[in-house]
Amino acid sequence: PPLDTIDETHEIVVMLENSIEEWIAAILRLIEQENKRQRPGNGPMAEIEFWRGRNASFTTMYEQLQSQKVQEILEVLRVADSQLLSGFELQMNELRLLYGVAKDNVKFLTTLERHFKNISLGSLPVIIDTVAPMMNALRMVWIISRNLNNEDAMGGILEKVAWEIGQAVINTVRLPDVLLLKNSDAEELIRTAKSGLEKWQSSYEDVRKKIEETGREKRWDFHYTFNLFNDTEYMEARCQNLLDIVKLSAFFHSVVGPELRAVTGESGGGMDDILKRVETLTHPILSVNFNVFDRTHETSWEVQHNKFREKVRQIDICLRVLIDTTYI
């Protein structure tokens, strides 16, 4: 071919190779950018948002590089035996892999979105009703998904669910508010919170047992590696403490009153002292200004809880003295 035609062809190839180099750089920048992407929260909905964001980014780049124009350029460079094609194909294969993972994860996580929204936004009764079907849905994802059926992926999702359930309890059972409710309302609220925490662990154990019984599915041993129950079990214990406090307070308020005064005939300082003690019984708990469900405040909680128990002991002693004095 004429020399000018050869030169012109060479210029075209160089120009197209410049485009290839730009595409390689763009893929590398995108992968680096996405590797720095953080979950936008601590709950399970953040997992869905994370993968939707990655999927949107990878899809845009992947579809652009699959366009007819790009394919024509690649064909020209293949004919020209360009040395840059191998580097481009290497990065394209990496992009294709990441795109496929993100797309697959979004597909499966979307099937869990309704459950995750209930866990994130629902009341405690809604959460309690959601946990078991959500765990069964997670098991199906575990069986079918190619990318979410590993310890890091599924364990991370379950850890986010545990955190979200814990947040629901923290936001619902607040001190001093819960102790200022009617005793029956306070008891019901705390029992519901405790039931939600128990339901979370029992539902996990139920699915884990089913998986072990089949003998065909990979085991669920996430509780050994991830924080699924360490915090929620601590919160259960605090709920039990609060439940005992409400019940003891209700008991003493029902016992110490006009009926006891009528039975004992006591109208002096001894009865008034007991009444005063009962009225101030929950003051150590009402004065708590920290999150009782946070394990880092365990020592502070024990101090206040022990003050309450000492008050209970003193009231019990005073009642025994009063009764003994009355009937001796």
Q: Please check the confidence at residue 266 and state whether its pLDDT lies above 90.
A: no
d(CA 101, CA 124): 34
| Assigned token pair, 177 | 């508010």
Percentage of the chain lying above the pLDDT 70 cut: 93
pLDDT band at 264 (very low <50, low <70, confident <90, very high): low
User: Is the full-model pTM beyond 0.85?
Assistant: yes
Distances from the Cα of 139 to the Cαs of 127, 157, 215, in angstroms? 18, 12, 14
Q: Which residues, 6+ apart, have CB-to-CB distance to 117 below 8 Å?
A: 45
Closest C-alpha among 91, 98, 109 to residue 58: 98
pLDDT band at 260 (very low <50, low <70, confident <90, very high): low
The predicted model gives 131-141 an average pLDDT of: 98
Q: Please check the confidence at residue 67 and state whether its pLDDT lies above 60.
A: yes
